[in-house]
Amino acid sequence: GDQVEQSPSALSLHEGTGSALRCNFTTTMRAVQWFRKNSRGSLINLFYLASGTKENGRLKSAFDSKERYSTLHIRDAQLEDSGTYFCAAEVGGKLIFGQGTKLSIKP
């Protein structure tokens, strides 16, 4: 069955606001990566976490392997943040992707 459950599947935010994406795992994962798929279809690396939290600008991610989840927080959302966000959990040397969250930012 699915090992990575990502939510929500779609999210609409007004500029300047924030929210969180979440991935739950059905088993213990070694690490997690977060990506954003841009308008050209490329996967842009956002974070790689083996544990704890990382922050980069308006984005912050956390990973708790014991509790089997990871989150991606976006604050002060801007129009250019629009896109589809994926989490991917690492187990056994391979990545298992979540279903993606389509994020739309409204002026």
Partner 1 sequence: GALVYQYPRRTICKSGTSMRMECQAVGFQATSVAWYRQSPQKTFELIALSTVNSAIKYEQNFTQEKFPISHPNLSFSSMTVLNAYLEDRGLYLCGARDWGGQDTQYFGPGTRLLVL
Binding site for partner 1 (CB under 8 A): 31, 33, 35, 40-43, 45, 48, 50, 86, 88, 90, 93-100
Report how far apart, in Å, the C-alpha atoms of 8 and of each of 30, 56, 66, 85 are.
Answer: 23, 22, 22, 10
Sequence-ordered list of residues with C-beta below 8 angstroms from that of 93, at least 6 positions apart, any chain? none
Distance CA 19, CA 103 (A): 10
The minimum distance between CB 37 and partner 1, in angstroms, equals 9
Distance of CA 42 to the CA centre of its chain: 15
The minimum distance between CB 64 and partner 1, in angstroms, equals 18
Give the other-Cβ count within 10 Å of 56's Cβ: 9
The minimum distance between CB 94 and partner 1, in angstroms, equals 5
The minimum distance between CB 86 and partner 1, in angstroms, equals 7
